[in-house]
Amino acid sequence: MRCPLLRPDPAARSRLVQLRDNLGDRITEAHREGWLGEVDGLNVSLAAVGNKLAQLDATAARRQPITIGMPRTRP
């Protein structure tokens, strides 16, 4: 998920949401256990998943149909 060149499949959006939720749980556990290095790495991954979800949402918004009108025939 950290790779900025990776473009996720729109069908995988639900999996990204699961990853985001799981990362939140893992960050909470790492804080509780005092694993500060792990917290930093998980926060980077959480930000990357958030960016991928934002990319998917932006792509979906751009895929709206465009009205180009009816063609006209020349006389």
pLDDT at 1: 66
Q: Domain locations in the chain?
A: 11-62
pLDDT at 60: 76
pLDDT at 62: 74
Instruction: For 50-72, write each residue's pLDDT tens digit.
Output: 999 999 888 877 777 778 888 88
Instruction: For 1-47, write each residue's pLDDT tens digit.
Output: 677 778 888 888 999 999 999 999 999 999 999 999 999 999 999 99
* Helices (runs of H) and strands (runs of E) counted in the chain: 2, 0
Distance CA 58, CA 34 (A): 37
pLDDT at 27: 97
Closest among 74, 25, 13 to 49, alpha carbons compared: 13
Q: 69 in the Ramachandran plot: left (φ > 0), alpha (ψ -120 to 50) or beta?
A: left
pLDDT at 58: 87
